[in-house]
Every structure is written in C-alpha cells, then in structure tokens.
C-alpha cells in the first residue's frame, strides 16, 4: 500500500481522515497560502490545497500526498481564519441569520509517477439570528481563531447553526465522501 501523507496542520482534518481507517502521516507544508478575500473561493481553496500537496510531494516523491483548504464565503468575500477575537465577533455578526457557502479544495499528488488529482466540494450553512450575548457565549466555549469563518460546526453548533445542506464533514474541513473517492482514484484502498 502506498504511503499516504496529509499535508495539513489541522487537527480536525487529522481526526476526519483517521475515520477512513487508512494509515497516514502528517507533514505540514511550509507555504504561504493565498487568502485575498475577494478571490473566487473555488480558485482560492483549489490553489491552496495544490500548493500544500505539491510542497510535500516534492519532498516525499513516492508518497500519496493529500492537500486540503477550506473557506467560508458570503457576499462575494471569503471569510478565512480570524486574526483575533474582534475579527471572529465581526464574522459571526456577518453570518448571523444568513446562509453562506463552505468551499473545500482537495489535491492529491504523487511526484514519482506524476499523479495529480483535484476536486472541490461546496456545502451551505444557515445561521440562526445571533444577538451579542449568544456570540459572546459561543466565543467563550469555542476556540475560533483557527477556523474559517470564525466558527466550527462541530463545536456548540446548537448556539449558532439553524441548518446545513451538503457534506457535514466538508463544513468541518475535509469532505470524507469526496476524499475517499479521490484516494481510491489515486490507488489507495479505503
């Protein structure tokens, strides 16, 4: 079985990928991600996923390398990871009572034989109307600075989320259904 490497620092992606029951290593790519908020989010996440996967694959040419990137998109702008608590509050206020899209780009690479597969997934999340007390309660319970959009659907979502459409694991950061298909296309038995 080919060696699988996850090119991501995200603990949530590690947890999700482990659910597929395939052994893997983690190598964090030393890259600067493109995060211009007005970039088409599909282009942004595809670029960043490929950037991570390519960087790791160049250093581990015989391994199957999976890169992923996720962003939240609303009103023509990507809401990436907030810089601080004030930015997280502002993001939650923007998302309040509205539906936004979560985009994830996936890139699978193996340098030794030129394998290069890419895919993308979109899901929709609708927030409850949030008052300031709810926002503060959520921020007191959830570390949001490492999460696109300033929230994690897996953490106390009963406070903020009214509903969602599409892949739940995509909203967390790694769409397992599509990831499994991609790994199978890459020759890995999942």
Catalytically active residues, by annotation: 69
Could you give the count of Cα atoms lying within 13 Å of 10 in the half-sphere of its Cβ?
A: 26
Write the burial class of residue 126 (CB in 10 Å: 0-12 exposed, 13-18 middle, 19+ buried).
middle
CA dihedral 188, 180, 148, 130 (to 10 degrees): -160
CB-CB contact of 149 with 138 (8 Å): no
């Amino acid at each position: 079985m080919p060696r699988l490497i996850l090119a991501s620092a995200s603990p949530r992606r590690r947890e999700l990928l482990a659910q597929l029951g395939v052994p893997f290593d983690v190598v964090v790519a030393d890259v600067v991600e493109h995060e211009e908020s007005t970039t088409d989010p599909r282009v942004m996440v595809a670029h960043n996923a490929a950037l991570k996967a390519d960087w790791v694959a160049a250093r581990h040419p015989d391994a199957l390398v999976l890169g992923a990137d996720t962003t939240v998109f609303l009103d023509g702008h990507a809401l990436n990871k907030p810089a601080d608590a004030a930015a997280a509050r502002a993001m939650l206020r923007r998302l309040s009572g509205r539906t936004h899209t979560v985009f994830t780009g996936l890139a699978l690479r193996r340098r030794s034989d030129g394998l290069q597969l890419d895919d993308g997934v979109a899901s929709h999340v609708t927030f409850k109307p949030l008052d300031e007390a709810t926002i503060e309660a959520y921020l007191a319970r959830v570390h949001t600075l490492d999460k696109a959009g300033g929230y994690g659907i897996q953490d106390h979502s009963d406070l903020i989320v009214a509903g969602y459409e599409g892949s739940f694991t995509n909203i967390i950061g790694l769409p397992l259904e599509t990831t499994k298909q991609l790994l199978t296309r890459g020759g890995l038995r999942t």
